[in-house]
Amino acid sequence: MADRQLMTGNEAMAEGAIRAGCRAYFGYPITPQNEILEYMAVHLPKVGGAFLQAESEVAAINMCYGAAAAGVRTMTSSSSPGVSLKMEGISYLAGADLPCVILNVARGGPGLGNIAPAQGDYFQATKGGGHGDYRLIVLAPSTAQEAAELAGLAFDLSDQYRVPALILADGMLGQMMEPVALPAQRDPASLPPKPWALTGAKGREPNYIASFALDPTVLRDLNLRRQARYREIEAREVRWEETATEDAEVLLVAYGTMGRIAKTVVRRGRDEGVKVGLLRPITLWPFPYAPLRALAERVRAVLTVELSAGQMWEDVRLAVEGRCPTPFYGEMGGVVPTPSEILREVKRHA
For position 211 contacting another protein by CB under 8 A, the verdict is yes
Helices 144-161 and 216-236: crossing angle in degrees, nearest 10, is: 140
Tell me phi and psi for residue 202, to 5 degrees.
-105, 120
How many CA within 13 A on the CB side of residue 330?
A: 20
Q: Which of 45, 123, 185, 199 binds another protein (CB under 8 A)?
A: 199
The 10 Å Cβ neighbour count of residue 230 is 17
Nearer to another protein among residue 202 and residue 235 (C-beta): 202
Rounded-to-integer distance, Cα 297 and Cα 314, Å: 18
Q: Choose, by CB under 8 A, the member of 62, 142, 245, 311 that binds another protein.
A: 62
In the list 111, 193, 200, 216, the residue contacting another protein (rule: CB under 8 A) is 200
Give yes or no for a contact between 24 and 53, defined as CB atoms under 8 angstroms apart.
no
CB nearer to another protein: pick between 92 and 122 = 92
Q: Does 88 bind another protein (CB under 8 A)?
A: yes
218 binding another protein? (CB under 8 A): no
Residue 123 engages another protein in binding (rule: CB under 8 A): no
Q: Report d(CA 228, CA 223) in Å as an integer.
A: 9
- Cα–Cα distances in Å, from 147 out to 1, 90, 99, 256, 277? 18, 21, 19, 10, 23
106 bridge partner residues: 170
The answer to whether 208 contacts another protein (rule: CB under 8 A) is yes
Asked if 206 touches another protein (CB under 8 A), the answer is: yes
Query: Does 112 engage in binding with another protein (CB under 8 A)?
Result: no
The answer to whether residues 314 and 342 touch, using CB atoms and an 8 Å cutoff, is no
Single-letter residue type at 243:
T
Nearer to another protein by Cβ, of 201 and 318: the residue is 201
Q: Is 103 in the site for another protein (CB under 8 A)?
A: no
Helix (H) or strand (E) holding 108: none
Which is nearer to another protein, 58 or 332 (by Cβ)?
58
Stretch that binds another protein, among 28-36, 85-93, 111-119, 121-129 (CB under 8 A): 85-93
Q: Which of 52, 98, 95 is nearest to 71 (CA)?
A: 98
Nearest approach, Cβ of residue 229 and another protein (Å): 21
* Sheet strands (E) in 215-348: 240-243, 250-253, 276-281, 283-285, 301-306, 328-330
Give least dist CB 193 to another protein, A.
14
Binding status of residue 116 toward another protein by CB under 8 A: no
Q: Is 59 in the site for another protein (CB under 8 A)?
A: yes
CA distance 202 to 206: 8
**Residue 179 beta carbon to another protein: minimum distance, rounded to whole angstroms:** 33
* Of residues 38-57, those binding another protein (CB under 8 A): 50, 52, 54-56
- Indicate the residue among 198 and 274 with the shorter CB distance to another protein: 198
- Residue 64 C-beta: closest distance to another protein, Å: 6
Query: Does 101 sit near another protein (CB under 8 A)?
Result: no
Give the three-state DSSP class for 271.
helix
Cα-Cα-Cα-Cα torsion 58, 60, 64, 66, nearest 10 degrees, comes to 80
Using CB under 8 A, which of 68, 168, 265, 346 touches another protein? 68
CA distance 313 to 175: 26
23 interacts with another protein by CB under 8 A:
yes
Interface segment toward another protein; rule CB under 8 A; list 154-162, 199-207, 237-245, 311-319: 199-207
What is the closest distance, in whole angstroms, from the C-beta atom of residue 213 to another protein in the complex? 10
Candidates 136, 130, 131; CA nearest to 168 is 136
Chain residues binding another protein by CB under 8 A are 23-24, 26, 50, 52, 54-56, 58-60, 62-72, 74, 88-89, 92, 96, 198-203, 206-212
